[in-house]
Structures are given as structure tokens and as C-alpha cells.
Structure 1
Amino acid sequence: MKRTNQSSPLSGAIFLFRAKRLDRMKVIVWDGTGLVMTYKRIDGAGFVWPQINDGVVTINRSQFEALFESSDWQRVVPRHVRKPVAV
């Protein structure tokens, strides 16, 4: 498998691993000094997971935060901020 910059832990990508029961996840992220792993389990029905294509899920930061908090990540709309233009 050819490794791309996005599949490198040092690229800033966040790696999520879910359990078969959908109520547990592991998160691996590089914090600048080393890899950090977080484990989260929720009671009830479990997390609502995004569609997986070829083993990869692409969501933005706001959607990830909602997923991690077991909120409805699908209702999160990213805010688009215009860059200032020189006058």
C-alpha cells in the first residue's frame, strides 16, 4: 500500500477505530510530542457513525467533536469564514 501524507500520524490526521458494537471508539492523534490514544465508551445505542468508503471516513473538526460527544454530527454545518481582502 502506498502511504500518502494523509495516512501518516504526523500529518495532523485523526485516526478513529470503532468497535463492532458501535458503542466504543479509540482515537489516535499526534499532539506534537507523541501519539495520544483516547478510548471512549457510551451507554445506550452507541455512536452514529459516518458512511465509510474504502475504510476511510472524512469529516471536519466540528463533526468529529459532535461525534466524540455522541451528538448528532450530521446536523453540524461547518461555518465558512471569508478571508479578508486587501483594499
Structure 2
Amino acid sequence: MIALRPGLKVVLAAQPVDFRKSVHTLSALVSEALRANPYCGDVFVFRSKRADRVKLLAWDGSGMVLVTKWLHQGHFTWPPVRHGVVYLSATQLAMLLDGLQWTRVSPEPVKRPTVVG
């Protein structure tokens, strides 16, 4: 199971992938193309050539999880296709999976409280 928690690192592959790829092939893609460890606990997001499909890959501590979602209507919001990755927050990932415009939301900076002694 993929838990959306604060501080979760979400890595979105900017290039579309062939959606016939298996969990093993996507894990190799994370290692080779994204230069990341697929077993680190981060969530890796892959997009299809069609904008209505998404795959998530994550190690949950006991096994590799692969989630696929197709929208019946509409499409997911994606950044422009280019090389590299895009980093999302857990909130942005939740919005992406709901088919919402996550690119218009940016977290407000939080100021650290000062210690008054």
C-alpha cells in the first residue's frame, strides 16, 4: 500500500513510458534513467503517451507496489514532456490522482517558530 504522508518524496518521470512495462521493467527504469533507488520508499510516477493513464511504483517495506489508474473522462494534468523528473508533494500527488490541476497549487513557506526564553 502506498501511504500519502507528509514528507513523502514523489518523483514524476517527465517522459511518457510504454504502459506495457512490468514492475520489474519500471524498477530498472527508476535505477537507470532516473538514477534513483526503487527500494528507497519514494513514490515514482509514470505517465503514458495518452494523458488519461498513470502508474505509481513504490517499495512499501515488504514488497514492490504497482498501481495503475485510468480516468474514464478527462485527463491528468502533466508538466511539459521533457527529460528529467519533477518532484511533487504528497498533496500534489493526491490532486494529480483525482484529476485536479495540481500545477496551480504551491505550498506556502512555513516559518520556523522562534524560541523565546
Q: TM-score, normalised by structure 2?
A: 0.59
Query: How has the CA–CA distance of structure 1 residues 39 and 2 changed in structure 2, closer, same or farther, with 3 Å as cutoff?
Result: closer
Could you tell me which amino acid in structure 1 is paired with residue 88 of structure 2? I
Gaps of 5+ in 2: 1-31
Within 1, Cα distance between the matches of 2:49 and 2:66? 19
Aligned twin of 1:75: 104
Residue 72 of structure 2 corresponds to residue 43 of structure 1: yes
Identical aligned residues as a percent:
36
1:26-65 equivalences under 5 Å are 26-65=55-94
Gaps of 5+ in 1: none
- What SS class does the counterpart of residue 16 from structure 1 fall into? strand
Query: How has the CA–CA distance of structure 1 residues 35 and 75 changed in structure 2, closer, same or farther, with 3 Å as cutoff?
Result: same
Give the stretch that moved more between structures: 63-72 or 9-18.
9-18
- Larger RCO, structure (CA 8 Å, separation 6 or more): 2
- What SS class does the counterpart of residue 65 from structure 2 fall into? strand
Query: Which of 5, 19, 22 is 2:51 aligned to?
Result: 22
Task: Please give the per-residue CA displacement for 1:7-30, whole angstroms capped at 9, x wherever unaligned.
Answer: 112333221122222111110012
Within 1, Cα distance between the matches of 2:53 and 2:104? 21
Q: TM-score, normalised by structure 1?
A: 0.75
